[in-house]
Amino acid sequence: MTLLSIHNLSLPIEDPVLKFLLVLIIILAAPLLLNKIKVPHLLGLIIAGAIIGPNGFNVLARDSSIVVTGTTGLLYIMFLAGLEIDMGDFKKNKWKSLGYGGYAFIFPFILGFLGAYYLLGFSTLTSVLFASLFSSQTLITYPLISKLGIAKNQAVNITVGGTMITDIATLLVLAVVVGMVQGDVGTSFWVKLSVSVILFSLIVLLVFPIIGRWFFKKVNDKISQYIFVLVMIYLAAMLAELAGIEAIIGAFFAGLALNRLIPHTSSLMNRVEFVGNAIFIPFFLISVGMLIDFTIFFKSFETLKVAGIMLVASIGGKYISAVITQKTFKFTKEEGTLIFGLSSASAAATLATVMVGYNIIVSETETGEPIRLLNEHVLNGSILLILISCTISSFVSMASAQKIAQIDNENTVSGNSHEEENILLAINHEETVERMVNLGILIKAHSNTEDLYALNVINEDKNESSVKNAEKLLHQASDAAAAADVSLQSLKRYDNDVINGINNVIKEQKVTDLIIGLENEKGFSPSFVYNLYNGYLQNDDVNVLVYHAAQPISTIKKYAVMIPLHSEKEAGFFHALLRIWNIARNSGATMTFYAPENILDILQKIIKKANIEAEFIIMNTWRDGEKTAAQLKEDEGLIVMMAKRGMQSYTPPMRLMPELLNKFLKNNNYLLIYPFSDYDKNNLETRSVGNHNDFMEIGNVIQKIFK
Side-chain-facing half-sphere of 663: CA atoms under 13 Å: 10
Give the pLDDT confidence of 89-141 residue by residue, as tens digits.
677 778 888 899 899 999 999 999 999 899 988 888 888 888 888 888 877 78
279: CB partners within 8 A, 6+ apart: 27, 69, 73
Per-residue pLDDT band at 424 (split at 50, 70, 90): very high
Question: Residue 163: which of 142, 179, 147, 178 has the closest Cα?
Answer: 142
Per-residue pLDDT band at 425 (split at 50, 70, 90): very high
Side-chain-facing half-sphere of 16: CA atoms under 13 Å: 3
CATH architecture group of domain 420-549? 3-Layer(aba) Sandwich (3.40)
Q: Which residues of the chain form CATH 1.20.1530.20?
A: 16-405
Higher pLDDT, residue 29 or 702: 29
Beta strands 370-372 and 361-364, pairing class: antiparallel
Domain 16-405 adopts which CATH fold? Na+/H+ antiporter like fold (1.20.1530)
Per-residue CA distances from 382 to 130, 286, 348, 635 (Å): 10, 16, 11, 48
- Residues above pLDDT 90, as percent of the chain: 17
pLDDT of 384 > 60? The answer is yes
Q: Which residues of the chain form CATH 3.40.50.620?
A: 420-549
pLDDT of 607 > 80? The answer is no
DSSP 510-521: T-SEEEEEEPTT
Q: What is the pLDDT of the chain when averaged over all its residues?
A: 82
Helix (H, G, I), strand (E, B) or coil at 640: strand
Rounded to two decimals, what is the model's pTM?
A: 0.77
Q: How far apart are CA 698 and CA 576, in angstroms?
A: 13
Query: CB neighbours (10 Å) of residue 399?
Result: 15
Q: How far apart are CA 215 and CA 198, in angstroms?
A: 25
pLDDT at 348: 61
Q: Does domain 550-678+688-706 have CATH number 3.30.70?
A: no
Identify whether the C-beta of residue 578 lies closer than 8 Å to the C-beta of residue 512.
no
3-state secondary structure 344-389: CCCCHHHHHHHHHHHHCEEEECCCCCEEECCCHHHHHHHHHHHHHH
